[in-house]
């Protein structure tokens, strides 16, 4: 069992099916690893030890009764903005420090139906606002590859949990890159599906037109297995799309021979780390050698993506976070003499600096006299960005880009410079604005040993082509990538 924490989800599933191990044995091994190493990494806000062992025992009974499901008995970690009935959900914020969810998210119900063992809730940037997990109200998660570096964000805890071998898979949410960017920085696979492909019911809203739930895994195959379970229409989510769900693992068998892969000229520009640029160029060369055709394409409105995102996302956050008023649930100030003061004090005490910054930005852009100048203009520019992708996908099947402009940066390095922090998501934000799927796959390492990810993007609801390209690249990259793991002790 010693090295099972380095196994893929698919490998562990096969071992469970063959009777080589049990879910209880597996869950105990992961819990022991968390207990030993998470004080150093700080991936988890809460570990549900007793509940996890009870779920594992139930999974073993289900398997003994003849049930055969890929996730049956597999431990999975969940980002703390996805609700689980009767469990604390904080969004890493003081304002929800003691909030106990009255129902479960649809993705949680699907995981339970599939027999997954929900092992705990992971740390994140408060209300998913950040790119480093330094904005958590409780503590900063650390990168398992280098404890002095950030794991990325906002789903830093979920990425770190998979990278550190605390669980073979985890759930995160991606509003502007919050799955793909930490996946890149932590050297794991991170998938943001098409908007509407996975139900958002039970995901605490940050920016409702951008948010998507997706998986972190060790391999592309594992991500496909997770997508097979999580994808599908949900009547509880009005943005969920009623379309058939293919078997995504079938797409892994295809190769890239004849596939046209677009390389946008706007993404390989000044300011990108040389090690990142080298990984992307090598990826393009290897895909070309395997029979793909690499074409330079243009996404001309890319330069507006950051500005557009930080108008639309903050405006939606201002609206969504208005519900935290100290009245219905969450933190209520004890220092208030009247209702108005209670509103102000509860929100002042409960929200951290980054959340306050974004609420104020969003409220300003929605205010009378500025709505047309900022919010309406941003929505028009968003359409231009979407049209760029539509035109690009007439010429290519997938788009290859860096996931993040740099490897993981040192904790505290960008904490006092919000603009530099926002630029961490420069290559991921456009996919959210357009609603298209994107995946980050480990691609290599910087000279300092920190991981670098490669991003593929595909057209709406074309996750199959995305998986084909990502799996083909995974087979083509250096053997050391994906087969070496962080040394925690």
* 339-374 tens-digit pLDDT: 999 999 999 999 999 999 999 999 999 998 889 999
Domain boundary, last residue among 382, 417, 451:
382
Domain boundary, last residue among 334, 351, 382:
382
In a domain, 387, yes or no: no
What does each of the 489 residues of the chain score in pLDDT, given as a tens digit?
Answer: 457 899 999 999 999 999 999 999 999 999 999 999 999 999 999 999 999 999 999 999 999 999 999 999 999 999 999 999 999 999 999 999 999 999 999 999 999 999 999 999 999 999 999 999 999 999 999 999 999 999 999 999 999 999 999 999 999 999 999 999 999 999 999 999 999 999 999 999 999 999 999 999 999 999 999 999 999 999 999 999 999 999 999 999 999 999 999 999 999 877 799 999 999 999 999 999 999 999 999 999 999 999 999 999 999 999 999 999 999 889 999 988 999 999 999 999 999 999 999 999 999 999 988 899 999 999 999 999 999 999 999 999 999 999 999 999 999 999 888 888 888 899 999 999 999 999 999 999 999 999 999 999 999 999 999 999 999 999 999 998 988 999 997
- Return the structure tokens found at 94: 């003081």
**246, 338: one domain:** no
**181, 83: one domain:** yes
**Cα–Cα distance between 102 and 428 in angstroms, integer?**
33
Check if the beta carbon of residue 362 is closer than 8 Å to that of residue 318: yes
Instruction: Tell me whether residue 28 is one of the annotated catalytic residues.
Output: no
Q: Which of 154, 158, 170, 184 is catalytic?
A: 154
In a domain, 371, yes or no: yes
- Return the structure tokens found at 306: 């950051």
**140, 218: one domain:** yes
- Return the structure tokens found at 408: 């993981």
Instruction: Tell me whether residue 178 is one of the annotated catalytic residues.
Output: yes
Rg (CA), the chain: 21
* Omega prior to 154 cis, within 30 of 0: yes
Write the pLDDT tens digit of every residue in 217-274.
999 999 999 999 999 999 999 999 999 999 999 999 999 999 999 999 999 877 799 9
In a domain, 334, yes or no: yes
Domain boundary, last residue among 328, 361, 382:
382
In a domain, 428, yes or no: no
Instruction: Tell me whether residue 79 is one of the annotated catalytic residues.
Output: yes
**34, 110: one domain:** yes
364, burial (CB in 10 Å: exposed 0-12, middle 13-18, buried 19+): middle
**222, 321: one domain:** no
Task: Identify the residue whose tokens are 């003691």.
Answer: 98
**332, 242: one domain:** no
Number of domains in the chain: 2
**210, 313: one domain:** no
Does residue 22 sit in helix, strand or coil?
A: coil
- Domain assignment of residue 200, given as a range: 4-253
Task: Provide CB contacts within 8 A for 291, sequence distance 6+.
Answer: 255, 256, 257, 258, 259
Check if the beta carbon of residue 188 is closer than 8 Å to that of residue 97: no
**Cα–Cα distance between 404 and 276 in angstroms, integer?**
8
Check if the beta carbon of residue 148 is closer than 8 Å to that of residue 411: yes
**Cα–Cα distance between 100 and 34 in angstroms, integer?**
23
**Cα–Cα distance between 90 and 96 in angstroms, integer?**
5
Task: Provide CB contacts within 8 A for 360, sequence distance 6+.
Answer: 318
In a domain, 90, yes or no: yes
Q: Which of 42, 79, 192, 414 is catalytic?
A: 79
Task: Provide CB contacts within 8 A for 1, sequence distance 6+.
Answer: 21, 25, 26, 29
In a domain, 353, yes or no: yes
**219, 76: one domain:** yes
**Cα–Cα distance between 98 and 252 in angstroms, integer?**
43
CATH of the domain at 104: 3.90.1300.10
**Cα–Cα distance between 85 and 381 in angstroms, integer?**
39
**231, 325: one domain:** no
**40, 178: one domain:** yes
**151, 13: one domain:** yes
Q: Which of 93, 173, 178, 199 is catalytic?
A: 178
In a domain, 435, yes or no: no
In a domain, 416, yes or no: no
**248, 319: one domain:** no
**Cα–Cα distance between 231 and 242 in angstroms, integer?**
10
């Amino acid at each position: 069992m010693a090295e099972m924490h380095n196994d893929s989800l698919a490998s562990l599933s096969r071992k469970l099916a063959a009777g080589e191990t049990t879910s209880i044995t597996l869950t105990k091994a992961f819990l022991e690893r968390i207990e030993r190493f998470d004080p150093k990494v700080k991936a988890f806000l809460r570990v549900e030890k007793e509940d996890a062992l009870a779920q594992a025992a139930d999974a073993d009974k289900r398997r003994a009764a003849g049930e055969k499901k890929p996730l049956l008995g597999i431990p999975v970690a969940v980002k703390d903005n996805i609700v689980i009935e009767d469990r604390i959900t904080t969004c890493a914020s003081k304002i929800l420090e003691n909030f106990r969810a009255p129902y479960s998210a649809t993705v949680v119900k699907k995981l339970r139906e599939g027999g997954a063992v929900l092992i705990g809730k992971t740390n994140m940037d408060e209300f998913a606002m950040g790119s480093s997990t330094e904005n958590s109200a409780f503590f900063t998660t650390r990168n398992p590859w280098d404890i002095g570096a950030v794991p990325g964000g906002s789903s830093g805890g979920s990425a770190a949990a998979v990278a550190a071998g605390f669980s073979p898979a985890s759930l995160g949410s991606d509003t502007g890159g919050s799955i793909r960017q930490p996946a890149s920085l932590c050297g794991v696979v991170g998938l943001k599906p098409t908007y509407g492909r996975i139900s958002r019911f039970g995901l605490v809203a940050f920016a409702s037109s951008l948010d998507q739930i997706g998986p972190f895994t060790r391999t592309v195959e594992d991500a496909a297995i997770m997508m097979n379970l999580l994808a599908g229409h949900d009547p509880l989510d009005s943005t969920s799309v009623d379309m058939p769900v293919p078997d995504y693992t079938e797409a892994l068998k295809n190769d890239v021979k004849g596939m046209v892969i677009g390389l946008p000229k706007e993404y390989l520009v000044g300011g990108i780390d040389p090690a990142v640029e080298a990984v992307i160029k090598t990826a393009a060369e290897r895909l070309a050698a395997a029979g793909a055709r690499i074409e330079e394409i243009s996404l001309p409105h890319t330069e507006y993506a950051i500005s557009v995102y930080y108008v639309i996302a903050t405006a939606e956050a201002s609206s969504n976070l208005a519900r935290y008023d100290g009245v219905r649930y969450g933190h209520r100030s004890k220092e208030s003499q009247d209702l108005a003061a209670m509103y102000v004090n509860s929100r002042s005490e409960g929200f951290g600096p980054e959340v306050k910054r974004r609420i104020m930005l969003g409220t300003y852009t929605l205010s009378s006299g500025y709505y047309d100048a900022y919010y309406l203009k941003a929505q028009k520019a968003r359409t231009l960005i979407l049209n760029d992708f539509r035109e690009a996908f007439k010429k290519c099947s997938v788009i290859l880009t860096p996931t993040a402009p740099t490897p993981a940066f040192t904790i505290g390095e960008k904490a006092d410079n919000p603009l530099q922090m926002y630029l961490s998501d420069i290559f991921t934000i456009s996919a959210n604005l357009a609603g298209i799927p994107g995946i980050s796959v480990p691609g290599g390492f910087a000279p300092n040993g920190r991981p670098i990810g490669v991003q593929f993007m595909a057209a709406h609801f074309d996750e199959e082509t995305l998986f084909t390209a990502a799996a083909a690249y995974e087979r083509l990259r250096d053997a050391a990538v994906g087969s070496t793991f962080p040394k925690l002790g």
